[in-house]
Structure 1
Amino acid sequence: MPKAQETVLEIDLKALKHNFDHLKSRLNSNTKFMAVVKAFAYGSDACELANYLQNQAVDYFAVAFVHEGVKLREAGITKPILVLHPQAANFKILIDNCLEPNLYNAKILNEFIAIASTEKLNHYPIHIKFNTGLNRLGFSENEVNTVVSKVKETSAVKIQSVFSHLAASEDLNERDFTLNQIEKFKNITEALTKAMGYKPLLHICNTSGILNYSEAHFDMVRSGIGMYGFGNSEKENKNFKPIGTLKTIISQIHEINKGESVGYNRAFKTDAFLRTATLPIGHADGIGRQYGKGKGYVIINNQKAYIIGNVCMDMIMVNVTDFDCKEGDEVIVFGPNNTAENLAETANTISYELITGISQRVKRVFIGY
């Protein structure tokens, strides 16, 4: 692969296919696959990746907000798109773009039925979310009859799927809690299906649910982080390939004498001679202020170069005192061998936060077509 000449996020589509194929291999052949491409496909490029995945037998896409779904439609995505957290103010746009809403409480269900009726829609697909323990969004278990009565009294909408979200599927110490969520979901969906007289698609598993709870795959599963190369455990990470490599270069090397400081607020002061490399990437690019002062490192010529001082808006400085490196050399911030998970752990955060925070001003480069 060519060496970086600027800050770029290199996205490997072959790795994406590997991850998708691995996740599919854990499913029964008739289990549908929903690809979660919210948050710019976890910081990569939702339109590019969705178009690629659309040709890999993905059944559904999921986004968080309506405008994300609109972007996919404008990019040529024709598969069904679930909007996980729609706002009533955007319902007309949602309908105009054939997006499918998650309706999670009585207020938003009533509001969507009202506009669907006004638009004279017939059996428009909706998705109903139940809260089984995450306590974030969703109808409660005792609201099944509320949902049924509201939907049955109109022909404007039809329940396409019923789903919930596992709170701790990656943590096997919480297995009893997860099994309780799954059992609660079964009870809810059995009651709803019986009352409605037809069976919607059922789904509760996220990436770790796919990997750890095969008995709960139901009709469809949802995967986000797994597609992008992370299995949420040391064991499962071996089966995945991170798709993103964040690269930059050395802009300048400085020699810092004993007693001098580096960066804003003189956050780093040296008690001995050292060499620093300045890199053109900073907190405006997604490398947050929680890094620096010895937290976090990059790879230069196969060596760890720790971030020193405060992270600047457009730059970071790293310690290269004992390195054989020069201005213009390539730098790996994270990639398959030094993963985003590794870097995130140095600042007590998670790979999700790091990869979704990569700024849109960072150039995306796609390989592996």
Structure 2
Amino acid sequence: MPKAQETVLEIDLKALQHNFEYLKSKFKSETKFLAVVKAFAYGSDAVEIANYLQNLDVDYFAVAYINEGITLRNAGITKPILVLHPQAVNFKKLIKHCLEPSLYNAKILNEFIEIASAEKQTNYPVHLKFNTGLNRLGFGENDVDFIASKLKETEAIKVKSIFSHLAASEDLDEKIFTKNQIKNFETIAGNFTKCIGYRPMFHICNTSGVLNYPEAHFDMVRSGIGLYGFGNSEKENKNFKPIGTLKTIISQIHEIKKGESVGYNRVFKSDAFLKTATLPIGHADGIGRQYGNGKGFVTINGQKAPILGNVCMDMIMVNITNIDCKEGDEVIVFGTNNTAENLAETAKTISYEIITAISQRVKRTYLK
């Protein structure tokens, strides 16, 4: 791998392919694969990731918002794109770009039918989200008759899939809860199919669902974090390859005397002589202030260097007292050894948060 000369997020597309193929090995060949590329493909690059996965013949993509889907369409993505949390104000744009909405309550269903009808659509594909315990978005099981009646009144839309979202599929202590979610979903999906007279696709599994609940793979599975290299457990993490390595360099080295402070508000005061390195990355790049004051760390020449003082907007300072290094040397913020999950744990958060927070001002490079 090339040495960094600036702050850069290096994306390993072969690792992405490995994760994709590992996940596919867990379900039947006829089961469809939906790749979740919302939030700039979890902080990497949605266009680059989606294009690569499209060439690997992924079946579906999902984004959170309509504008994310439009970006993919404008970049040449032709596979179906499910919009998980669409807003009615953008429905005309959604239809124009052949995106497929998740409809999750009566208001959003009525609004989409109205706009699809006005746009003279016939059998426009929609996806119905049902709440089975996450209590975030979704129709309830008692809404089946209402939805069926609305569908009988219009030819503007047709249900492409019925889906739900597992709340704790990575936590095997919550196995009873998860199995109840799956059972409730099967009941809802079965009742709904009887009411409308045809069978849409069913899907409920996220990455951990794919790994832990093979009985619930149904017609399609969805994966986000798994594609990017994390299996949501120590055991499964060994089977995945993190695709992103965040690198930077040492801009300057300082010698700090006993009693001197480092950084804003003089939060860190040295009780002995030490050496620090200043790095060109900060909270505007996605390294939040919660990683400061010795919680977070970077790796320099194979050794951990704790972050000193408050994280600045564009810089962090790290302790290199016992590390043999010089200005210009490469620094690994996270990667394949000390992963984003390892760094996230120092601030009591999760890998999702740190990787999706990497600013788009950080240069992306790709290993193919």
TM-score in terms of structure 1 length: 0.99
- Residue 18 of structure 1: aligned partner: 18
Opposite residue 173 of structure 1, the aligned amino acid is D
- Residue 125 of structure 2: aligned partner: 125
- Residue 170 of structure 1: aligned partner: 170
- Residue 320 of structure 1: aligned partner: 320
2:212 is the alignment partner of 1:249: no
SS class of match (1:284): helix
- Residue 340 of structure 2: aligned partner: 340
- Residue 219 of structure 1: aligned partner: 219
Mapped to 1, the partners of 2:105 and 2:32 lie a distance apart of 25
- Residue 349 of structure 1: aligned partner: 349
Deviates more, 1:247-256 or 1:143-152: 143-152
SS class of match (1:336): coil
SS class of match (1:278): strand
Aligned residues: 368
2:36 is the alignment partner of 1:31: no
- CA deviations over 1:108-129 (Å, ceiling 9, x no partner): 0000000111111000000000
Mapped to 2, the partners of 1:13 and 1:152 lie a distance apart of 45
Mapped to 2, the partners of 1:2 and 1:17 lie a distance apart of 21
- Residue 201 of structure 1: aligned partner: 201
- Residue 3 of structure 2: aligned partner: 3
Opposite residue 186 of structure 1, the aligned amino acid is E
SS class of match (1:18): helix
- Residue 137 of structure 1: aligned partner: 137
5 Å matches for 1:20-99?
20-99=20-99
Opposite residue 252 of structure 1, the aligned amino acid is Q
Cα offset for 1:145? 0.6
Cα offset for 1:153? 1.2
Mapped to 1, the partners of 2:149 and 2:236 lie a distance apart of 43
Opposite residue 103 of structure 1, the aligned amino acid is L
- CA deviations over 1:262-306 (Å, ceiling 9, x no partner): 000001000100000000000000000001111010000000000
5 Å matches for 1:111-122?
111-122=111-122
SS class of match (2:160): strand
5 Å matches for 1:264-303?
264-303=264-303
Mapped to 2, the partners of 1:332 and 1:239 lie a distance apart of 22
2:360 is the alignment partner of 1:360: yes
Mapped to 1, the partners of 2:351 and 2:144 lie a distance apart of 36
Cα offset for 1:74? 0.3
Mapped to 2, the partners of 1:149 and 1:134 lie a distance apart of 26
- CA deviations over 1:61-110 (Å, ceiling 9, x no partner): 00000000000000000000000000000000000000000000000000
Mapped to 1, the partners of 2:323 and 2:98 lie a distance apart of 55
5 Å matches for 1:96-111?
96-111=96-111
SS class of match (2:289): coil
| RMSD after superposition | 0.4
Identity %: 77
- Residue 237 of structure 2: aligned partner: 237
Cα offset for 1:2? 1.2
Opposite residue 345 of structure 2, the aligned amino acid is E
Mapped to 1, the partners of 2:151 and 2:96 lie a distance apart of 21
SS class of match (2:4): coil
Structure 1's unaligned 5+ residue stretches are none
Mapped to 2, the partners of 1:243 and 1:197 lie a distance apart of 43
- CA deviations over 1:110-169 (Å, ceiling 9, x no partner): 000001111110000000000000000000011111111111211100000000000000
Mapped to 2, the partners of 1:322 and 1:47 lie a distance apart of 42
Mapped to 2, the partners of 1:55 and 1:270 lie a distance apart of 53
Mapped to 2, the partners of 1:173 and 1:152 lie a distance apart of 42
* 4+ residue runs over 6 A deviation: none
Mapped to 1, the partners of 2:337 and 2:120 lie a distance apart of 54
Cα offset for 1:218? 0.2
Mapped to 2, the partners of 1:172 and 1:35 lie a distance apart of 24
Mapped to 1, the partners of 2:320 and 2:151 lie a distance apart of 64
Mapped to 1, the partners of 2:226 and 2:63 lie a distance apart of 16
